[in-house]
Amino acid sequence: MPKHSKKDSSDSDSDSGPDDVAPAPKKLKAGGESAAKTNDSGETYFDIDGLKRVTVREFKGRVYVDIREFYEKDGKVLPGKKGISLSTSQWGKVKSLMDSIDGAVDGLR
C-alpha cells in the first residue's frame, strides 16, 4: 500500500501565481461535511474524524472505496491495518441500505 503524507500548502494571497493551480482543499463545512482532498498518490479522499478517511482509489484496474484508520510516524500520515476496501458494487449496496442503517441506529439511541 502506498505511503501517504500531508502536502505543504502556501499561505500566500498573491495574485501573481499561475491561473491553472488547483485550489487548496476546503475546510470542514458547518454541517460536518468535508470537501474532497487529494493525497500524494493523486487519490481523492475525505476526512471522517481524526485520522479516519474514506479514499477512492484504483487498484489493478478496479475502483475501490477504502474506509481506513491512518496513523502518524516520523511526521508522515500512513494507512493502518484497520479498514475495509469496498468494490463499487459493494459500495452501491451500502448506499442502498443507508436509510435502513439510519433507522437501525436511530432505534438504538
Task: Determine the Cα–Cα distance for residues 78 and 45; give it in Å rounded to an integer.
Answer: 13
**Banded pLDDT at 62 (limits 50, 70, 90):** very high
pTM: 0.65
Has residue 95 been placed in a domain?
yes
- Confidence (pLDDT) at 34: 60
Has residue 85 been placed in a domain?
yes
Has residue 45 been placed in a domain?
yes
**What's the number of domains the chain is made of?**
1
- Confidence (pLDDT) at 44: 97
- Confidence (pLDDT) at 30: 44
Phi and psi torsions of 93, nearest 5°: -65, -45
Has residue 60 been placed in a domain?
yes
> Can you give the CATH number for the domain in which 95 is found?
2.30.31.10
Has residue 51 been placed in a domain?
yes
In the predicted model, what is the mean pLDDT of residues 53-69? 97
Q: Which domain holds residue 94?
A: 37-108
pLDDT digit string, tens, across residues 63-91: 999 999 999 999 999 999 999 999 999 99
* Inter-axis angle of helices 98-108 and 88-96, nearest 10: 50
